[in-house]
Amino acid sequence: MHITLRQLEVFVAIARAGTGTAAASQLALSQSAASSALSDLEYQLGEPLFNRVGKRLQLNENGRYLLPKAEALLEGASEIEQSFKTGVPVRLRLYASMTIGNDVLPELAAQFLRQEPDSRLEIAIGNSQDVVEAILSFRADFGLIEAPCHDSRLVAEPWLHDQMQLFCHASHPLARTTPDIAQLQQTAWVLREPGSGSREVTEAAFAPHLGVLNSVLELGSAEAIARAVGTGLGIACVSNRAISDKLTDGEFAPIHTPWAQLNRRFYLVYHQEKILSGGLQRFRELCRLKLIEEMEQGA
């Protein structure tokens, strides 16, 4: 069965006007086109919808049953059409890695919703590998991660610049020092879990010099790592965005390693086969403006 909106439109018009001629005139159709649409509808339903009384068409019981349902379908189709003309409410599924999700995305989300108050953002936070897997399976529309993505199925656009910071509690022996390789090899490290962008950058920066890091604890967020380091458990390397306040107030202290490459980029990721809707394009542009803003502040 393939009932069309045009057939229902003709049916409703005839039900209201009482004749095929009047209905055809209202719909700017020829009388033969209107009659053909009604005949096709009755044929597909297998039942007549009108009693023919002279030139007039009166609804029978089948027609009276169909009329409110047809009117509801036509009204729904009209609402859909109007929504696309005036702007469809945006529904975006975003997935961000931890540092971005906690320290960058809330401000972006608030700004986007101020600009488009009828929109809805569904935000999930995990590590970078979680984000990549969600984008690959189309469980998320757009991802924001803290390490390069090497999967050829995804588009990865370099985004914000970020500075990682090696740090410890202010009372730790390495606080504000420039330790040698041996000291760092013997010191206990608190690391992010495998799959984290922060973990990837930390190992890339230090493992070539230190070998396997002396990890005593793996935790799933920079906040949890900061609490562990705050107990004096060991040293850690996280985004400066996550601990800058605690470095300023003196609870934590930096460890200087001028030979380690601790600069990195955040990335915007989406599936190559994903068609970016207007809402996604506007959110992406907001991300681009955030990059420009941070670059100007750092200039």
Q: What pLDDT does 205 receive?
A: 95
153-160: average pLDDT: 96
**Percent of the chain having pLDDT more than 90?**
76
If 0-12 CB within 10 Å is exposed, 13-18 middle and 19+ buried, where does residue 57 land?
buried
Compute the distance between CA of residue 267 and CA of residue 157 in angstroms, rounded to an integer.
5
* pLDDT above 70 for 88: no
Taking each helix axis from N to C terminus, what angle separates 278-298 and 105-115, rounded to the nearest 10 degrees? 130
* pLDDT above 80 for 33: yes
Compute the distance between CA of residue 169 and CA of residue 39 in angstroms, rounded to an integer.
83
Q: What pLDDT does 87 receive?
A: 64
* pLDDT above 70 for 18: yes
pLDDT in tens, 193-244: 999 999 999 999 999 999 999 999 999 999 999 999 999 999 999 999 999 9
Select 91-159+265-298's CATH number: 3.40.50.10210, 3.90.1200.10, 1.10.3720.10, 3.40.190.10: 3.40.190.10
Choice between 25 and 101, residue whose per-residue pLDDT is larger: 101
**Domain 5-86 belongs to what architecture?**
Orthogonal Bundle (1.10)
**Same CATH fold, 163-263 and 5-86?**
no
Q: What pLDDT does 86 receive?
A: 61
Tell how many helices (H) and how many strands (E) occur in the chain.
12, 11
Q: Which residue ranges make up each domain of the chain?
A: 5-86, 91-159+265-298, 163-263
Host H or E run for residue 164: strand 154-169
Kindly provide the b/e burial profile for residues 170-209, where b requires at least 16 CB atoms within 10 angstroms of the residue's own CB: bebebeeeebeeeebbebebbbbeebbbbbbbbbebbeee
What is the assigned CATH class of domain 163-263?
alpha beta
Compute the distance between CA of residue 243 and CA of residue 99 in angstroms, rounded to an integer.
11
* pLDDT above 70 for 110: yes
